[in-house]
Amino acid sequence: MFTKDQDQALKGKLDPGHTKKRDGFDYIEAWRAMETANEIFGFEGWDRETDTRMTAEYEREMGPENRKYMGWAVSYTARSTITVRAGDVVIRRQGTGAGHGYDRDRGKAHESAIKEAESDAMKRALSSFGNRFGLALYDKERAGVGFDWYAKATQELDACATKTAYKKWRKWFADEKFIDHLDGDQVKLIEGKAKDVKEKLGITEDAEERKKQPPAEKAKTKAKKSEPKKKAAASKKPAAEKPSPNAKASDEPGVEEVAPLIKELSLQRTKDDLIEWVAKNASEIQGNAELEEGVRDRAKALGFEIGEGGEIIDTSSEDEERAAEEAEKFKEAFLKTLKDERRNTIELVDRLVDKYRERLDAIAEDYPVMHREIFEDINEKRKELADDLVLDDDIPI
């Protein structure tokens, strides 16, 4: 049957940015359906067979009133069979569709009708595999349409072709708090994918683990490496004096006391969280080298530094900040326009989305959380306007 990774992908939601509008209905384009099939099943994991039949062909008048000419009207029906190989199991699904072609040239009319019928039948067959193939568009509530955290994370991970790209993916994955939106199985699958990508890029496990080690563990690793040198140096030195029984114990927290704080520190995922945590544990951090180093490392990973006097030094790029501010301003302006009382039909809402489609796609690429929030508002607006509409169950996809 399907692998766990394929199963998770098939359970995902349909990205609203992957849909188009025609005659008042949402649909996905044929190339998008094929791209999704290649992504989930693999380029060699699925096939399609299509049987077509011409149902009508006749001459008719075409063109505007003042320039009438004779052309051809052609109609075809098609049945598409999708075959998917899932391990040792072969799955077949079928779908039917129709297409119509109108052209002065008889051959072009046939070509247009056949293509439309074939695409329609293929999409209907693939829709039986779940939301991402357009099944979600048959649901008037659109419960299966929305931002798919798992799909986005795996797509970006699969696109990592360099060590730098993988490093950026890790930071992006942490900054956007993807882990808060994934279940245990999805996290395990992504960890497995990340391991494969690291092997492919030649990122050694030791180097990767050292980056994730808390300061206390880094100190232990460093101590182990320097142990032989210390022993050699000790053999050349006179024996150290035994400590006096009256010597005072150090006020610095022991390893057992530091370990829970190190674990807490690793869970701080935003700048505000880290600053609040440092203020709360200031007395334990001060004077403890491991905790101080850990705080500096965590701050650096989040794009800023904490100075010697506790001041915040932002190290993120000014260009990135400016881009984020511009995206936020666009979001505010877009949503204000969306909620305008004059935008009181679904058609007007969809015109607005189409007008700014390119900008919305760019936000989806760089700020997926913001993109999801925008489309939640769009879908809410469309739902309000559609309350009084009765839609045909047979929605084209």
Which span out of 8-22, 229-243, 337-351 was modeled with the highest average pLDDT? 8-22
For the cut 80, the answer to whether the pLDDT of residue 158 exceeds it is: yes
Average pLDDT over residues 215-223: 52
Residue % of the chain over a pLDDT of 90: 26
In which band, very low, low, confident or very high, does the pLDDT at 391 lie, cut at 50, 70 and 90? very low
For the cut 50, the answer to whether the pLDDT of residue 24 exceeds it is: yes
What is the reported pLDDT for 341?
75
What is the reported pLDDT for 209?
52
What is the reported pLDDT for 279?
81
Is 222 or 101 the better-scoring residue by pLDDT? 101
CA distances from 81 to 11, 50, 95, 128 (A): 22, 6, 7, 12
Q: Residue 387, Cβ neighbours under 10 Å: how many?
A: 6
Is 29 or 393 the better-scoring residue by pLDDT? 29
Cα(316)–Cα(303) distance, rounded to whole angstroms? Answer: 5
State the maximum Cα–Cα separation within the chain, in Å, rounded to a whole number. Answer: 113
pLDDT of 353-365, one tens digit each?
888 887 888 887 7
Is 319 or 185 the better-scoring residue by pLDDT? 185
3-state secondary structure 291-344: HHHHHHHHHHHCCEEECCCCCEEECCCHHHHHHHHHHHHHHHHHHHHHCCCCCC
What is the reported pLDDT for 220?
53
Q: How many helices (H) and strands (E) does the chain have?
A: 16, 7
In which band, very low, low, confident or very high, does the pLDDT at 105 lie, cut at 50, 70 and 90? very high
pLDDT of 240-270, one tens digit each?
444 444 444 444 455 556 777 877 777 776 7
For the cut 90, the answer to whether the pLDDT of residue 53 exceeds it is: yes
What is the reported pLDDT for 392?
37
What is the reported pLDDT for 248?
44
What is the reported pLDDT for 289?
80
Residue ranges and CATH numbers for the domains of the chain are 4-134 (3.30.390.80), 149-208 (no CATH), 213-227+255-314 (no CATH), 318-386 (no CATH)
For the cut 50, the answer to whether the pLDDT of residue 299 exceeds it is: yes
In which band, very low, low, confident or very high, does the pLDDT at 389 lie, cut at 50, 70 and 90? very low
Rounded mean pLDDT of the chain? 79
For the cut 80, the answer to whether the pLDDT of residue 63 exceeds it is: yes
Torsion region of 310: left, alpha or beta (phi above 0 gives left; psi -120 to 50 gives alpha): left
For the cut 60, the answer to whether the pLDDT of residue 390 exceeds it is: no
What is the reported pLDDT for 277?
81
Q: List the single range of 62-66, 170-174, 216-220 with lowest mean pLDDT.
A: 216-220
For the cut 60, the answer to whether the pLDDT of residue 332 exceeds it is: yes
Identify the burial level of 7 via C-beta atoms within 10 angstroms of its C-beta, where 0-12 means exposed, 13-18 middle and 19 or more buried. middle
For the cut 50, the answer to whether the pLDDT of residue 224 exceeds it is: yes
Q: Which pair of structure tokens corresponds to residue 154?
A: 């795996």
What is the reported pLDDT for 132?
92
For the cut 60, the answer to whether the pLDDT of residue 226 exceeds it is: no
What is the reported pLDDT for 140?
84
Which residue in 1, 12, 79 sits closest to 39, CA to CA?
12
Q: Are 146 and 13 in contact (CB under 8 A)?
A: yes
